[in-house]
Amino acid sequence: MNAPVPRDALAAAASSAGVGPAVAEFPDPGPAERRSRQAEVVTALSAVLPTSLLLWQEEDTIPYECDGLTAYRERPLVVALPETEEQVRAVLKVCHRLRVPVVARGAGTGLSGGAMPHRMGVTLSLARFNRILQIDRRSRSARVQCGVRNLAISEAASPHGLYYAPDPSSQIACTIGGNVAENSGGVHCLKYGLTLHNVLRVRGFTMEGELVEFGSEALDAPGLDLLPLVVGSEGMLAVVTEVTVRLVPKPQLARCIMASFPSVQAAGEAVAQVIAEGIIPAGLEMMDRPMTAAVEDFVHAGYDLKAAAILLCESDGTAEEVEEEVRRMTEVLSGCGASRLEVSRDEAQRLRFWSGRKNAFPASGRISPDYMCMDSTIPRKRLADILTAIGEMENRHGLRCVNVFHAGDGNLHPLILFDANRPGELERAEAFGAEILETSVRLGGTVTGEHGVGIEKIRSMCVQFSPEEREQMAALKRAFDPAGLLNPGKVIPTLHRCAEYGQMHVKKGLLPFAELPRF
């Protein structure tokens, strides 16, 4: 059997990459060595977990080989399915002792490859942590295990007149632990905030098996506030097992305006003007004509198919508040050139409007064999600029792109349509996506808004952050995970990778992810 990878080997690998071991890449042995290492890990984990909670045969590990980003796949050595916190602690201690990488996984709905397994590592599935531990009506909070579905929290809180506000499109399936890892958003986060703004406390374990808690159910936490570090850390700092979230009262009334515009530029200007007028809608979403056509054919939401772009603008609160806000938004939208305005007549129509937006991704899957969903953020005032740029990129890369945005906070979700069965189309889609991210940075934005960096955007981090800034990120990871075993190879690029990325742009021939395993 293989000996554990020693610390000095990790340090040497990191040194050659130009940063500390927090972003080290592990040796990739041949098949015989991999089988030997697998046997060693299975034997060690069998001492702390029933074998029924371990998967290592190829047919059993294939379902875990990717998350929602299906273009890149890898099978782990072993999948562990713990049922208790003590089992999580035990698995982590074993892996730390053997120097085995660990990738935590929830429902696998992530879209940046953050939960893609490590070839020489253990995938730690937390799917069985699915209990709602407490709904506290008086404090308006819920304490839940990390594997609880986002929507299940609102369903459990509904009898108390409460709900959990962040609502990603995948809320029917995604877990709160994954939401914490990615700092997920949703269509109503303009008014109510992202995951970070709705989480009070996070409990979990470090790679060494140490119990840690971040945040507090009180107004403030003692000492340094490390909660914002953990939320959005993509499983690189700790394994989250329990989360306490904030609940908010259900609004008395909600109404949605569907506003049609003759151009995407006019729609983008309308978004900026709504915010400039001091209006903070509950939701403010934008879709271009190709996207609305795909969605309308799928769910029949009642969208205006003649419009170049539509906005969905929602107001919620008391009846008086909603009436006044809808009036103000209608005036602003009309003044910005809206060619048609329709206000939801009742709750059924409001839900139909939103069903279209929330089904944008599956609707795209009906019109294209494959699609790549990008995620970046720009200043709201640059929405028209990025849409114009994406239109030019379509011609340059020879691929179609349909667009849906969290327009109110400038979070873009362009969906690049391609067919992976056609030689070269996946590579063209990758190059298209990389150009969208670079353009977002150039316009004053960021390479991610809510989907995370994972492996999808790791090289684009080289565009946004200097070597010194990336080293500070690596130093923070080392403070939590000195051996670099939690989700290695994600989020923080090595200097070597950034050098390769620079060569790509000089030579115009190398592709962003040539080294990653493909389907």
DSSP 112: S
**Backbone angle region of 386, left / alpha / beta, with phi > 0 → left and psi within -120 to 50 → alpha:** alpha
Q: Are 224 and 232 in contact (CB under 8 A)?
A: no
Q: Name which of 381, 449, 460, 379 is nearest 414 in CA terms.
A: 449
Count of other CB atoms within 10 angstroms of residue 99: 18
pLDDT at position 497: 55
Closest by CA position to 106, among listed 168, 54, 179, 214: 179
In the chain the first and final C-alpha atoms are separated, in Å, by: 30
pLDDT in tens, 320-350: 999 999 999 999 999 999 999 999 999 999 9
Determine contact, residues 229/472, Cβ cutoff 8 Å: no
**What local confidence, expressed as pLDDT, does residue 503 receive?**
43
CA distance 196 to 424: 39
Question: CA 485 to CA 497: how far, in whole Å?
Answer: 19
* Beta strands per DSSP E along 359-407: 370-373, 376-377, 400-406
Supply the pLDDT for residue 14: 34
| Low-confidence residues in the chain, pLDDT < 70 | 1-25, 494-497, 499-519
pLDDT value at residue 28: 73
pLDDT of residue 220: 79
- pLDDT value for 76: 97
For 489: left if phi > 0, alpha if psi spans -120 to 50, otherwise beta; the answer is: left
Question: How, if at all, do strands 102-105 and 122-125 pair?
Answer: parallel
Give the pLDDT of residue 25. 58
- pTM beyond cutoff 0.75: yes
What pLDDT does residue 71 have? 85
CA gap 457, 434 in Å, rounded: 8
